[in-house]
């Protein structure tokens, strides 16, 4: 048999074998390189693979560990875990529930708003779904919300962290697609290839993520209008309304400041993604310190006095930031942030009770961040071994031939890729799909003049949809783990179906109108 045909057969077998092994539950970090090495050995014995191709691996690994953009990943993970451990969502949801709760569907709208802010702040889907399931689901059940509407809303809105910037998935997509995009342009004779940055993807995903969140809220409003019993209004005690405006500012202003600082600095070009991620990590520590200090004040004084303390503090901070930004620019804002951080640390460490709480939170955050970061990067490195073997066995050429021959041209090829990713998303984690599938198909699609930002956002929305789809959607399992027994698995599965339909409609909207993803990057970066 011809060695070319043998290599192609081995490449297809390698891809299929890896998919089967992952679906059986074998860890991807060892499945990818293990299967690749096994098929490389077979290919070498059959004369279809040259082991000297592995000489490229040290350079690939060196490129990963020295890639400045990827340093943003552990920092974003740290920021997200710190905000999740500081229980920022609880106070935010309670306050937003009081703000909107007097209208039918108001608590559901509050859930979408809080989940969107958490998605932009943490970017960790599992943490957001679990947090919202522990806080928001009991509140909606107590308010006599329909169980299916409540569970579906939490699963859908909790998964927004997959696409809402700054998403770690978008960071890895930017790194992977940047190389594929440059290679595709060089292959087409463009020797001054355009670059693709994390900022491009963050800007491109901004409008689609808002459309998704708005669509979820619209579905809640429609339910409240046509099925009032499914999303009733809350009864808010008159005394609870007195300081509501202050509490809204106290709950909403800190995460908004953090999001604006992180996203604003990236999109505006003031800072690189890594620098912005470090700002987010420092900001998360600062928010945690302020929360601990305010809780300490609440123990020593009346509750209203503690609320007034936080209100006056954040209003003063906002005013100081605005003044310093005009007087000294970014340096003045940075100096104030460091001054607040040092002061918060000094106050926290000087009191034994505060010091114990902060050290406990910091220890948990560092351990979780280390585990998550190590897991993702080990998968990334294993994917490099798979990529080398699959490509050199002829798999990339086979994929190019297969997608190029699809009926419908570019749309047919892209639809095929999206359908494969959607089905794989039932069984595999999004990071696994991004590391395995995207490097194979992206060069082919870019050679067919598919816009990389548009493609990346479609991939993110597609993987988010598969995160929700029964029977194996990960968000469904996350919620099932924390939902009370009164909410059955069937309730969760049936509740998510309307949101899957909404998700598919939004994907179709972005597909039909690519400018929804390309407008902001072109406006900002030209």
Residues 6+ apart with CB under 8 A from 358: 288, 289, 292, 348, 349
C-alpha span between 246 and 264 (Å, rounded): 25
Instruction: Round to the nearest angstrom and report the end-to-end CA distance of the chain.
Output: 52
Per mean pLDDT, which range of 106-110, 199-203, 249-253, 436-440 is the poorest?
249-253
Coil, strand or helix at 226? helix
CA 3 vs CA 15, 54, 411: distances in Å: 18, 19, 33
Dist CA 331 CA 324 (whole Å): 9
Position 276 scores a pLDDT of: 78
Please state, in angstroms and as integers, the Cα–Cα distance from residue 381 to each residue in 34, 57, 64, 65, following that order. Answer: 12, 9, 8, 10
CA distance readout (Å), 180 to 175, 245, 396, 426: 9, 50, 12, 26
Confidence of residue 509 (pLDDT cuts 50, 70, 90): very high
What is the reported pLDDT for 117? 79
pLDDT in tens, 40-81: 888 888 887 788 878 877 877 777 777 777 777 788 778 877
CA angle 430, 431, 437 (to 5 degrees): 85
| pLDDT at residue 193, rounded to an integer | 63
Q: In angstroms, what CA-CA distances link 488 with 51, 411, 472, 495?
A: 53, 40, 16, 11
Q: If DSSP codes are grouped into helix, strand and coil, which group holds residue 273?
A: helix
Give the residue, 425 or 159, on which the prediction is more confident: 159
> Model confidence at 299, in pLDDT bands (50, 70, 90)?
low
The reported pTM is 0.79
For 55-121, where are the alpha helices, taking DSSP H only?
A: 57-65, 72-85, 88-100, 106-121
Write the DSSP symbol of residue 166: S
pLDDT for position 215: 92
**pLDDT the model gives residue 3:** 73
Higher per-residue pLDDT: 394 or 328: 394
What's the confidence (pLDDT) of residue 431? 74
pLDDT > 80? residue 147: yes
pLDDT for res 304: 59
pLDDT tens-digit map of 14-29 = 878 877 777 676 777 7
CA–CA separation, 502 and 513 (whole Å): 16
């Amino acid at each position: 048999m011809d060695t070319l045909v043998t290599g192609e057969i081995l490449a297809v077998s390698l891809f299929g074998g890896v998919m089967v092994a992952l679906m059986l539950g074998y860890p991807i970090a060892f499945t990818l390189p293990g299967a690749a090495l096994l098929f490389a050995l077979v290919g070498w014995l059959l004369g279809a693979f040259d082991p000297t191709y592995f000489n490229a691996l040290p350079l690939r690994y060196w490129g990963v560990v020295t890639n400045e953009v990827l340093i943003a990943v552990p920092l974003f993970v740290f920021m997200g875990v710190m905000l999740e451990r500081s229980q920022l969502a609880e106070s935010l949801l309670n306050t937003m529930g009081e703000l909107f709760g007097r209208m039918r569907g108001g608590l559901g709208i509050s859930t979408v708003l809080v989940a969107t802010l958490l998605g932009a702040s943490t970017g960790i889907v599992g943490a957001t779904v679990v947090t919202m399931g522990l806080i928001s689901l009991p509140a909606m059940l107590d308010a006599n919300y329909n169980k299916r509407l409540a569970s579906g809303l939490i699963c859908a809105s909790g998964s927004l962290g997959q696409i809402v910037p700054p998403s770690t998935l978008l960071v890895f997509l930017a790194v992977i697609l940047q190389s594929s995009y440059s290679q595709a342009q060089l292959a087409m004779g463009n020797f001054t290839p355009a670059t693709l940055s994390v900022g491009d993807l963050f800007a491109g995903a901004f409008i689609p993520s808002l459309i998704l969140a708005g669509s979820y809220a619209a579905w809640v409003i429609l339910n409240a209008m046509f099925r009032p019993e499914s999303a009733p209004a809350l009864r808010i005690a008159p005394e609870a309304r007195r300081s509501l405006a202050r509490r809204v500012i106290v709950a909403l202003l800190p995460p908004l400041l953090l999001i604006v600082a992180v996203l604003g600095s990236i999109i505006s070009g003031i800072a690189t993604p890594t620098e912005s991620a470090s700002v987010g990590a420092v900001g998360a520590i600062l928010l945690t310190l302020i929360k601990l200090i305010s809780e300490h004040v609440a123990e020593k004084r009346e509750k209203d006095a503690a609320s007034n303390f936080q209100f006056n503090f954040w209003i003063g901070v906002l005013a100081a930031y605005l003044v310093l930004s005009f007087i000294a620019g970014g340096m003045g804002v940075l100096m104030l942030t460091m001054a607040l951080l040092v002061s918060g640390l000094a106050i926290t460490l000087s009191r034994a009770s505060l010091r114990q709480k902060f050290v406990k939170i910091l220890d948990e955050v560092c351990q979780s961040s280390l585990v998550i970061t190590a897991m993702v990067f080990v998968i990334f490195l294993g994917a490099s071994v798979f990529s080398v073997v699959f490509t050199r066995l002829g798999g990339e050429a086979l994929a190019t031939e297969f997608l190029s021959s699809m009926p419908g041209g570019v749309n047919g090829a892209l639809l095929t890729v999206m359908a494969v990713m959607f089905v794989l998303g039932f069984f595999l984690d999004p990071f696994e799909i991004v590391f395995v599938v995207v490097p194979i198909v992206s060069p082919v699609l870019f050679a067919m003049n598919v816009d990389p930002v548009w493609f990346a956002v479609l991939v993110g929305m597609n993987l988010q949809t598969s995160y929700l789809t029964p029977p194996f959607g990960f968000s469904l399992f996350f919620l099932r783990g924390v939902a009370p027994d009164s909410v059955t698995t069937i309730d969760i599965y049936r509740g998510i179906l309307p949101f899957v339909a909404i998700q598919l409609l939004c994907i179709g909207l972005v597909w039909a109108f690519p400018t929804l993803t390309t407008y902001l990057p072109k406006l900002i970066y030209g």
